[in-house]
A and B are shown apart, each in its own frame.
Chain A
Amino acid sequence: MHDGTLLRLVIIPPLLASQLVFVHFVHGDQAMDAHRVTLGRTAGLFIGAAVLRLALFTIFPGLPDLLTGRVEVSTPVTSFKRLQEGLFLYNHNVSPYDGGVYHQSPLFLPLFSLLPSSTTLPIFTYLLYIAVDLLSANALIKIAESGEAGSSRLFTSPRREKRWSGYILAAVFLFNPFTIATCLGRSTSVFTTAAILHAIAKAVQGAPISAMIALSFASYLAMYPLLLLPPLLILCYDRQTANKATKSALAFTAKHFLVVAGVLGALFQMSYLVTGSWEFLSSTYGIQLTLSDLTPNIGLWWYFFVEMFDSFRSFFLAVFWLHLSCYVGGLSIRIRRQPLVVITLLLGIFTIFKPYPSIADVSLFFGLVPLYRHVFPLMRYTFLIAGLIMYASCLGPAFYHLWVYAGSGNANFFYAVTLVWNLGLSLMVCDLTFAVLRDEWEVDRPEMVGKDIRQI
């Protein structure tokens, strides 16, 4: 890559992205008045998002490959480049996991083998990724339209009137620069995102079995979504349709747990048939559990484990995973009345603390946060959070450039920025938690409405 071209490409996307943000805000402004989403407008939005992506794919042919190579977009477990490698091995009847490059699910291989090669006829790959993004947006619309964010079975927010329609949410998601970058970078995490959003959408629509199937797919692809099972079960339980509701929580849990286990078992069996061995388990989930690929990413794990003495490695792996999963129980119990909040917060927490995070996870979290438009006025650090995240997204590529290309910086530069980035994200999670809890608290203690509080 010519260095200048590279820099130019690094500079241009934020500019374009900023244009896009504008587009969605203009739309948003109009949508403020009308709460009912008409089908035509949604179709227009989807066409707009698809055309924009196609335009970016075709006008800047170098852009997809540039983004695919960025550590912010592609991680070892989602990279499109690695997928190509696995695909090549698979098509030549070699185990895709030979060589230790491919760490993604085996079922991607037959899917991408069906598509024409992405080097000769990339348009089909582009269309697939665009379609997946639109499916995710569609699921988001359904989640928003259900009104679950403002009033669940056990809790109704007094502020729920002030909300954004599904149309705005879809627009925020589709025109989020992070979502666009993920789509252009063809990271396979878009499939996980779509599966998670569908699981939530099905749950709020009162279709618990479908929700469980979607969640199983997400877990199969990326493993960590399995941690969403408890809050999702609660959500499904709360949103059951009255006529065929299971009253007993235990029976409900057992039944749906079996569904997840069954679907996962079937998927594993299919994977076994595709690759001919159980090797994929250690190459996909094993990699995530043991963090054996230390490629830098925007998360907090890699630097820590690069620096660590080998004798402490397994201990800290256990600690890090325990830390990641310990939020599930606590949040599910504390915010029992609003399970969708728990799911949103958990997705934010996973974005910060999972082993291989990328901006794809951020785009999913940012896609769900606007559901809580009604508690935004209660958030206290919006400007700080926006500033931190923007500063980090600006400084990250610059420091990575100094480290890897210019050779005048070092790994500490980039890691320092990822710390700032994760500080921004964790402030956002904290602030959202605060806002949601305060909203609940003001219902319990009406005399405290509008009063300043000192500590959460």
Chain B
Amino acid sequence: MPRLLSGAHRLRNSPLLLKLPPYLSFLCIIVGVVWLFLLPLDEYSRRTYISENALLPGQVHTYFGGSDQNVFRAFKHEINALADTDANSTVVNDKVAEILEDIGLKTARQRYRYAGQGVQGENIYSVLAAPRGDATEAIVLVASWRNGKGEINRKGVTLLLTLARYFRRWSLWSKDIIFLVTPDSAAGPQAWVDAYHDSHTAGVESLPVKSGALQGALVIDYVKEDRFKSIHIAYDGVNGALPNLDLVNSVVSIAGGQMGMGVGLQEMWTHRDTYRDRLETMLRGMLKQGLGTASGAHSAFIPYHVDAVTLSPYGDGWQDEMAMGRVIEGTFRSLNNLLEKLHQSFFFYLLMSTERFVSIGTYLPSAMLVAVNFTFTSIALWIKSGMPEAEVGKGLEGKRMDKARLGQVERDLFLPLGVVVVVQALGVVPLGLFNATPQQLLAPVFAIFTILNLILPYVLSELLRTYKPTTQQYQLILSFSLLLLGMFLSTLATLNFSLSMMVGLLASPLSFVRPGSRFWAIPLALVSPPVVLGVATAVLKHGSFAAISDVLREAAFGWNVMGMYTPVIVWCVWWPAWVVGSLVVLGRPSTGKAKTA
């Protein structure tokens, strides 16, 4: 080790090595991105397979059908009556309770209120005690009254009630089954799952009835009135957490294999399994994962290590609600077989079609490479800051450095550390601002913030000038800031790969800026977080700039209710790095000589 280290120590005096870092950083980013685009190829992705043998998906005969169709029609009639009169949550729950109690299940209710977000409602659920179980494990079937788009989930709630009646007649369940109807698909499930695990906030009531540990959850989002062709599986959780791949595979195998339906992912309504389609599915998945928002009622379950997916029918075909019911029955029978929680190592994956995926070992290097490029630059700047000033100027133009003159310079760390820490701490300001502002003010506040944000580096750099920072100090400021950025992003890559990749790519210009190179100021302003946020909203939502208030509202809701940490990453990781980068670019180093040791 000492020999190795002192070898490395000598190597750092080589002038060639000092010219390398920008190219190395650039190479890292390029390789990282190319890597990503290679993933959909057959050579890099793998076919999916069921790793938990106990699941046995599609191996049982499903009996849902026949007279259950009449029951379904009857319940549908009741639900339609409620939906047409636009009944409020209490009236709906009274009706649902009446039906469930007629079936012979006890019901329980839970009221919740998130005051800051102006959201409230009442969940209703009942527990079907397992005839062959001991109430230590449970599976959840969820239907929300209104889905994420605000449409009334008529067939979904009806199907839930019909299945409740049907499941009750069977004696083969070894796990409790919980039927849950929530008013909406975000706050309701969140309140219920939080309360189930006794970690609810003040406005949320505790659950009067509970069962055992949740083993899995299935959400029905069924608004399509006529017959359908395929079902869509939504699987992204909050903060980019994913359910175990085995659950997705089971549903694919039951719906696609046993029932002969099509299965779609990531709102790709047609998927021909070409490179392009695979890539698009993967990128859509990454975008959703990176934003970290909930994609349905199932998202609330995933942080509690409960594997969950949302199933929603789409397309015109000949499948009816009985077929949908059989898919759910089949999946529940599979989950019922489980002897332990799904634990095989597929919690980190990118799906590119229903049959192909890449696992973490294959895709993680691309995000790590992007994160590591900042660390390389940071190390390079640190080494460069330790060299006598005259050398830095000339030495980098390729002049051979005289080894004897290459004395180390004592680094002045206080000012750089102070600047980085202050800017890092400033990140709390936008974070608090956007999470506490009332909804109607979000858009104007954002507009003002965007403008102030563009001026901020100029102001800060003027302020900094009063301390007369030298080139060395500017280099150190940038070095520390990039070190932190690289560190946070590589940590993040293990928690939320896509978010780390996105922030890493958007912040990548920071690796190439150098103190005083003012022409970088404009390009940097273009990739400032608020500008990127505004442009991305306009592009993704196909809408005007006003859509930004929706995005910000969703982010505030995610942060306050669902524990989504994307805003923290944007404002406390990316934004400070951007501010420091712009500050350094605008800086004018004073010509004071650095002290030599």
Contacts and interface: CB of A to CB of B under 8 A. Distances in A.
Contact of B305 (A18, A22, A406): A406
Contact of B414 (A6, A29, A402): A29
A136 B572 CA distance: 33
Interface in B393-413: 407-408, 410, 413
In terms of DSSP, what is the predominant structure of the interface of chain A? helix
Contacts of A398: 491, 494-495
B565 A7 contact: yes
Nearest to B415: A29
A394 interface: yes
A394 B491 contact: yes
B424 A18 contact: yes
B421 interface: yes
B425 interface: yes
A408 B495 CA distance: 10
B5 A381 contact: yes
B3 A455 contact: yes
Interface in B482-502: 483-484, 487-488, 490-491, 494-495
Interface string B342-386: 010101100000000000000000000000000100010010000
A90 B258 CA distance: 63
Nearest to B495: A398
A415 interface: no
A407 B495 CA distance: 12
Given A1-B199, A407-B343, A455-B3, A21 B417 contact: yes
A398 B201 CA distance: 24
A2 interface: yes
B305 A407 contact: yes
A390 B428 contact: no
A391 B490 contact: yes
B425 A15 contact: yes
A395 interface: yes
B418 interface: yes
Contact of B483 (A3, A18, A387): A387
Contacts of A13: none
Interface in B33-67: none
Contacts of B562: 4
B81 interface: no
A266 B247 CA distance: 63
Interface in A11-48: 11, 15, 18-19, 21-22, 25-26, 28-29
A28 B421 CA distance: 15
Contacts of A405: 305
A402 B10 CA distance: 39
Interface string A301-336: 000000000000000000000000000000000000
Interface residues of B, number: 54
B563 A391 contact: no
Given A11-B565, A387-B375, A406-B347, A377 B410 contact: yes
B32 to A, nearest CB: 19
A383 interface: yes
Contact of B568 (A11, A21, A25): A11
A4 B348 CA distance: 20
B514 to A, nearest CB: 19
A26 B413 CA distance: 11
A370 to B, nearest CB: 13
B430 interface: no
Given A3-B199, A452-B10, A455-B3, A22 B410 contact: no
A447 B48 CA distance: 68
Contacts of A247: none
A5 interface: yes
Query: For chain A, which range describes its interface: under 10, 10 to 19, 20 to 34, or 35 or more residues?
Result: 35 or more
Interface string B568-597: 100010000000000000000000000001
A47 B563 CA distance: 35
B414 A395 contact: no
A8 interface: yes
B427 interface: yes
A11 B487 contact: no
B347 A22 contact: no
Contact of B6 (A390, A450, A455): A455
B563 A4 contact: yes
Interface string A342-378: 0000000000000000000000000000000000010
Interface string A35-74: 0000000000000000000000000000000000000000
Given A377-B410, A390-B487, A391-B490, A8 B563 contact: yes
A399 interface: yes
Contacts of B568: 8, 11
A394 B487 contact: yes
A7 B347 contact: no
Given A383-B379, A402-B494, A390 B483 contact: yes
Contacts of B597: 377
A387 B239 CA distance: 27
Contacts of B559: 4
B200 A2 contact: yes
A454 interface: yes
Contacts of B490: 391, 395
A53 B2 CA distance: 41
Nearest to A6: B563
Contacts of A456: 2, 6
A255 interface: no
Contacts of B140: none
B207 interface: no
Interface string A382-415: 0100010011001100110110011111000100
Given A1-B199, A391-B487, A15 B427 contact: yes
Interface string A100-144: 000000000000000000000000000000000000000000000
A380 interface: yes
Contacts of B269: none
Contacts of B495: 398, 401-402
A5 B561 CA distance: 10
B477 interface: no
A18 B199 contact: no
Most chain A beta carbons < 10 A, residue from B428, B483, B491: B491
Contacts of A11: 565, 568, 572
A19 B425 contact: yes
Interface in A227-256: none
Interface in B275-310: 303-305
B564 A408 contact: no
B542 interface: no
A22 B199 contact: no
Contacts of A387: 375, 379, 483, 487
B418 A26 contact: yes
Given A4-B563, A7-B565, A28 B414 contact: yes
Contacts of B241: 406, 408
A345 to B, nearest CB: 16
Interface string B532-564: 000000000000000000000000000100111
Contact of A454 (B6, B347, B487): B6
A395 B194 CA distance: 27
Given A18-B425, A455-B2, A394 B488 contact: yes
Contact of A25 (B194, B348, B410, B418): B418
Interface in A409-456: 409, 413, 430, 450, 452-456
A413 B194 CA distance: 27
27 contacts: A2-B563, A4-B238, A4-B303, A4-B562, A4-B565, A5-B563, A7-B565, A8-B563, A11-B565, A11-B572, A15-B428, A21-B417, A21-B421, A26-B414, A26-B418, A28-B414, A29-B414, A377-B410, A377-B597, A381-B5, A383-B382, A387-B375, A390-B483, A391-B487, A394-B488, A398-B495, A413-B494
Those 4 A-B pairs whose CB atoms lie nearest each other, nearest first: A4-B563, A408-B347, A22-B421, A2-B199
Given A3-B304, A390-B483, 8 more contacts: A5-B199, A15-B428, A21-B421, A380-B5, A394-B488, A401-B495, A406-B303, A406-B305
